[in-house]
Structure 1
Amino acid sequence: MIALTLLAFAVVYFGLIAYFFFIYEWLYPEFIDDDFLRTGDIVTLGLLLGIGISTASLLGWILARRIVEPLKSVAGAARRVAEGDFSARASLRRGNFGEASDLVDDFNQMAERLQRAEAELQYSNSAIAHELRTPLTILRGRLQGLLDGAFTPSAELYGRLIEHVDDLSAIVEELRTLALSNAGQLDLQCSRLDLAVEAEAALTSLEDQFGKAGITTTLALRNAVTSADRSRMRQAFVALLENCCRYAPQSTVHVETGVARQHVFFRCTDTGPGLPDESRARAFERFWRADESRGRSGGGSGLGLPIVKAIAQAHGGDALILSSHNPGLAVEIRLPRREQPVSI
């Protein structure tokens, strides 16, 4: 600010000199050089310069504080985050610039996301250990019993052991899918497909499970053509339908596909116990189960809906729970409407 004030003063001063020496003398030939810049003029110029520099210094100090304070707050919070304290937040006083407010808000949002990610990671680690410990404990107990002669080898016993191994393999594969999705490395082999055809195929593959769960289905399968990975979409559809078998037995499941504006959708609605409003925001969290409203008798890993969302987002779409006044749960997968295959 002082430098700008001095520069402005220099421009005015030398401009006056140029004016008096070249222009004023030509306009007024009777001008006498002795009349140029008397003592009073010099004093006036000096006072103006002093007032300008003082004002510039004061304004510069005020503006500098308004600029530096939020930067110092962000820097301090960033150091705490770097040291592992993800609860650190930057503060902002009233009267700061809009850009400073945007910077503080963006930093605090980033810190909040880091804190949530850290909490989710810690929870996921403990949940993974718990989910893997149960089938491993059962396997070890059965194998130890066979070794000690406590169990008689039979086809039925070996079949149960294979089921536990399959459960472990499924959990590992689900974790692998989520890890690849988070790293942006989920490999997709996209081709032109119709969601209605894939939904019908997924329903056909689960006919026996639906029959055992006492579920009846109603369909509204309209053409919904897009470009997507066929196997991944089949995996997402099956995960949603298995979710109905596990948590909404003896209910009616309505499956619908169609086109809405610039996206295609697959919608699965059941008439089961549903989820309370406060639980819907957590439905896509890893290993989370709504134990109060949905039973665990089916032994779900809590990874079904997170995988559905990961697959949808890998295609540039999303998965969401639709609000409804009717009982039950409605989950929709939305994908961009693309006619040509894309390389991902």
Structure 2
Amino acid sequence: MGPRTGLGRQILLAMLAISVTAGVLVFFGTYFLYSAILAIFPAPEASDSWLTATDLGILGLVILVTLPIAALVSLRLARRILEPLESLALSARRITAGDLSSRAFPGERALGETAALIDDFNTMAQRLQDMAADMALWNATIAHELRTPLTILKGRMQGMIDGVFEPDERSLQGLILQVDGLARLVEDLRTVTLADSGHLDLRIEPIRLAPEIRQMAELMAHDLRASGFRLELDLADLVVDVDPTRIRQALLALVTNARRYAVRGTITIHLAEGDGDILLGVADEGPGLSPEMATRVFDPFVRDDPVRSQELGGNGLGLSVVRAIVEAHGGRLRYRSAPQGGALFEMIFAKPKRSQAAHDA
């Protein structure tokens, strides 16, 4: 028979064996107990023994009556245990075979602990199914994102081989741009994957963020002015425990995101302290995000306008990379409307304990 019948047979036989053994032990235990009592306290001369044949017969009859009752109770209890366990075993085998949609059922009269076990198993199975679906979607999306630049590269190089395109400096520069886009996509994927798995390499140290940000601003100012933007800084002099390289990467991603999608105007980088946290944010002057988009903006490959995003050089991973970096630091990333009506993305980090201790002192 299959494992299910074997499981039921084992539990039923075990319960029956316990009932029979208990009855036999009660019978002989009572007999030997009476014998010990008679050895210590002999029976009166008027009677041959305290435990007569009639007594033994009555005791045996009681055991014969109670033994089937005990066996019936054991069988009913075994069925209450067996039904959810058999369902659990069957579902586990189906999941092992690849059917992640299989679920176990506790039955109508399952014991509390058994029902809790079934619920935990079903929760685990649901998470496995969600993870598999997310992985399939992730792989399909990655393949789609890689296909476009690879197709362009292959077409351009094949055209050069066939003599359709001249391998001049402009054409080669275009190929290099596509290669840069691929390299950026691969690096973004690597960052998000390492962060999600808890293996993102961080070299955290106490640094004064304001000088680091000013240095970055000087490097970005020229390109931003060429694109019609003005960079404004509002920085408090704060010491934060972070990986400076990763924070520069995240800050550059936020500024680049504003440069791509915001209207021409001012991009503001602010660093401040509030409610015991350190706030590092990038704000623009519009148009901001729709309510529906605001709830999904940090998910990988989510873009309001995929075609326009690709034309502007976006791969849909910028904000996911920022979220991954911030969460790897133990912080969080949030979106809210900026005072100027645009988008404000804030990286929120815990205030260093030494700063809190100095403040309390």
Q: TM above 0.5, one fold?
A: yes
Matches of 1:195 and 1:97 in 2, distance apart?
Answer: 58
Quote how far apart the aligned CAs of 1:167 are.
0.9
Aligned counterparts, 1:325-344, within 5 A: 329-335=343-349
Answer yes or no: is 1:177 the counterpart of 2:195. no
Answer yes or no: is 1:162 the counterpart of 2:176. yes
Answer yes or no: is 1:64 the counterpart of 2:78. yes
Corresponding position of 1:20: 37
Quote how far apart the aligned CAs of 1:196 are.
5.2
Local SS of the residue matching 1:100: helix
Quote how far apart the aligned CAs of 1:324 are.
7.1
Equivalent residue for 1:223, pick from 219, 227, 238: 238
Equivalent residue for 1:122, pick from 108, 113, 136: 136
Matches of 1:304 and 1:233 in 2, distance apart?
Answer: 13
Range moving further from structure 2, 119-128 or 213-222: 213-222
Quote how far apart the aligned CAs of 1:300 are.
1.3
Answer yes or no: is 1:276 the counterpart of 2:291. yes
Answer yes or no: is 1:81 the counterpart of 2:95. yes
Equivalent residue for 2:50, pick from 36, 42, 45: 36
Answer yes or no: is 1:301 the counterpart of 2:342. no
Corresponding position of 2:63: 49
Quote how far apart the aligned CAs of 1:135 are.
2.0
Answer yes or no: is 1:111 the counterpart of 2:128. no
Local SS of the residue matching 2:206: strand
Q: 1:58 to 1:222 in 2, by over 3 A?
A: farther
Question: Could you state the TM-score of these two structures normalised by the residue count of structure 1?
Answer: 0.75
Local SS of the residue matching 1:60: helix
Matches of 2:344 and 2:54 in 1, distance apart?
Answer: 86
Matches of 1:120 and 1:260 in 2, distance apart?
Answer: 36
Matches of 2:338 and 2:77 in 1, distance apart?
Answer: 54
Matches of 2:31 and 2:294 in 1, distance apart?
Answer: 72
Q: 1:34 to 1:179 in 2, by over 3 A?
A: same
Could you list the runs of 5+ residues in structure 2 that have no partner in the other structure?
A: 1-14, 355-361
Range moving further from structure 2, 265-274 or 165-174: 265-274
Equivalent residue for 1:238, pick from 229, 252, 271: 252
Deviation per CA, 1:203-227: give whole Å up to 9, x if none.
554434554264665636462522x
Range moving further from structure 2, 228-237 or 197-206: 197-206
Answer yes or no: is 1:187 the counterpart of 2:204. no
Conserved in 1, the CA contact under 8 Å of 2:103 and 2:122?
yes
Question: Could you state the TM-score of these two structures normalised by the residue count of structure 2?
Answer: 0.72
Quote how far apart the aligned CAs of 1:301 are.
0.8
Quote how far apart the aligned CAs of 1:176 are.
2.5
Letter in 2 for 1:276: P
Letter in 2 for 1:123: L
Matches of 1:264 and 1:125 in 2, distance apart?
Answer: 36
Local SS of the residue matching 1:34: coil
Q: 1:129 to 1:83 in 2, by over 3 A?
A: same
Deviation per CA, 1:173-200: give whole Å up to 9, x if none.
2222334345544333332334555555
Number of equivalences: 332
Conserved in 1, the CA contact under 8 Å of 2:309 and 2:315?
no
Conserved in 1, the CA contact under 8 Å of 2:335 and 2:344?
yes
Deviation per CA, 1:34-53: give whole Å up to 9, x if none.
34124553344334434543
Conserved in 1, the CA contact under 8 Å of 2:334 and 2:345?
yes
Quote how far apart the aligned CAs of 1:153 are.
5.2
Could you list the runs of 5+ residues in structure 1 that have no partner in the other structure?
A: none
Answer yes or no: is 1:142 the counterpart of 2:156. yes
Conserved in 2, the CA contact under 8 Å of 1:195 and 1:266?
no
Quote how far apart the aligned CAs of 1:250 are.
4.1
Range moving further from structure 2, 185-194 or 163-172: 185-194
